[in-house]
Structure 1
């Protein structure tokens, strides 16, 4: 299948590691001009050097999503001509919701909802002009089923999900689709952190907790970042033009709901 992505421009958030990095690489393999965005410039440079390049124009932007006003200023000095936006921000710290502070919730809301809104407003004018746009949000299966011990994340991820569904309706007649990818347990530094915390809480070893969590998944393993990225790339393609406003779990069947 030809995904018809060659010469499209994509902005990929959180692209120095994990699913974001894998998404950037797969998009570049399809001929996309990729702009990476994250806060660590050295890591951005390293991933930039990894991107497949067949006469493409790849670049990066340094931005800290914990400071939305700085992101807005950064956008003012950048020519935002993107066909594809991949919103992807690291999850809030783990813990029970009842233990979270108002600052925890506000910070997470700013990083996930406010920054998504800033970037979306920046890219939509060009998408309208091109009559082609793909906004893909990498969220979590907690949109469908809350995950114990991730109280703030469960709350904010659902806010992003409803934000995206609203936009999917508002932007569809401009040939812009908005979809969410819901990763399950994926081999990333975030999952490593969650496993360690759960192991401490349950007074078990990290290896034991890792196996317990794998047993929750029907396929009995964690996902590779590239497996989740593949779903993102398909949703970014011309072939996904009639898919809009969905939550797509990429979780090996772990989510029990339909």
Structure 2
């Protein structure tokens, strides 16, 4: 798939680290011009340096903004993206705060809704006109396997991820006639800062060593290990490719076989 995405512009949210950065690197390897979006200018600048350049016409860049600030997204990002003619959008944002759902404050749901669903919706709205005009587009949402089976201790996340999946499925049906696909990648336990936070929280709650918590978590995975960000990115790369042109509206788990549902 080398150079397959030449002259195509891609926007990767949460692109300064973890799964977002790995996905951006994958798309850049495929020839796309990649724009990273995240909060920290410093981290974005360093991440952009890691993006490969595989042909002479390829250019990368970044946009610094907090996706939880929907007013700024409306005022500054929407007009900017309309100018850039984005053909591939990877919606990806850090997970909501952990904890049992019965203890969650209403504000936690509102923050998560703004950061995940509203921001993704606004970004998608801004690029749809260009995708419709070219009769081509790829919208890929990084969500979670909690879409299929809720995860213990992640009450707000389970709620918001489920809503995100239904938003995506609805969008897929509406945009399919225009050659635009909308799909979800569902990472399982993946070696990122987010997973490290979950491990630390479990360790504190259960009074177990981190190594013991890790062993227990890995034992729940048929493949016996955590995933790598690059393995999630491989799924993103495929769904962004021309080979995936007839795939839309799906939830694709990348979890080492952990999810127990079909």
Q: TM-score range by the shorter chain?
A: over 0.9
Give the corresponding residue for 1:182: 186
Bigger shift: 91-100 or 65-74?
65-74
Give the corresponding residue for 1:58: 60
**What is the aligned length?**
258
Q: 2:74 aligns with which of 72, 75, 83?
A: 72
Whole-angstrom CA distance in 2 between matches of 1:21 and 1:118: 21
Whole-angstrom CA distance in 2 between matches of 1:184 and 1:170: 28
Whole-angstrom CA distance in 2 between matches of 1:199 and 1:187: 17
> How do 1:142-157 residues align onto structure 2 when only pairs under 5 Å count?
142-157=146-161
1:168 aligns with 2:172: yes
Give the corresponding residue for 2:105: 101
1:12–1:37: 8 Å Cα contact kept in structure 2?
A: yes
Whole-angstrom CA distance in 2 between matches of 1:101 and 1:35: 35
Give the corresponding residue for 1:226: 230
Q: TM-score when scaled to structure 2?
A: 0.96
- Aligned-residue Cα RMSD (Å) equals 1.0
Structure 1 runs of 4+ aligned residues shifted over 6 Å read: none
Bigger shift: 59-68 or 147-156?
59-68
| Superposed CA offset, 1:133-168 (max 9, x none) | 000000000000000000000000000000000000
1:7 to partner: Cα distance: 1.7
Whole-angstrom CA distance in 2 between matches of 1:257 and 1:183: 15
1:25 aligns with 2:25: yes
Whole-angstrom CA distance in 1 between matches of 2:193 and 2:156: 18
Whole-angstrom CA distance in 1 between matches of 2:92 and 2:132: 22
Whole-angstrom CA distance in 2 between matches of 1:143 and 1:25: 26
| Superposed CA offset, 1:53-102 (max 9, x none) | 13211110011012111111122441241110000000001000011111
Q: TM-score when scaled to structure 1?
A: 0.98
Q: 1:204 aligns with which of 202, 208, 232?
A: 208
- Alignment gaps of 5+ in structure 2: none
- Alignment gaps of 5+ in structure 1: none
Whole-angstrom CA distance in 2 between matches of 1:36 and 1:129: 24
Whole-angstrom CA distance in 2 between matches of 1:174 and 1:76: 21
| Superposed CA offset, 1:183-235 (max 9, x none) | 00000000000001011111100111011101100000001100000000100
1:3–1:237: 8 Å Cα contact kept in structure 2?
A: no
Whole-angstrom CA distance in 1 between matches of 2:127 and 2:157: 26
Whole-angstrom CA distance in 2 between matches of 1:173 and 1:3: 26
Give the corresponding residue for 2:94: 90
Give the corresponding residue for 2:41: 41
1:4 to partner: Cα distance: 2.6
Give the corresponding residue for 1:140: 144
Whole-angstrom CA distance in 2 between matches of 1:5 and 1:31: 5
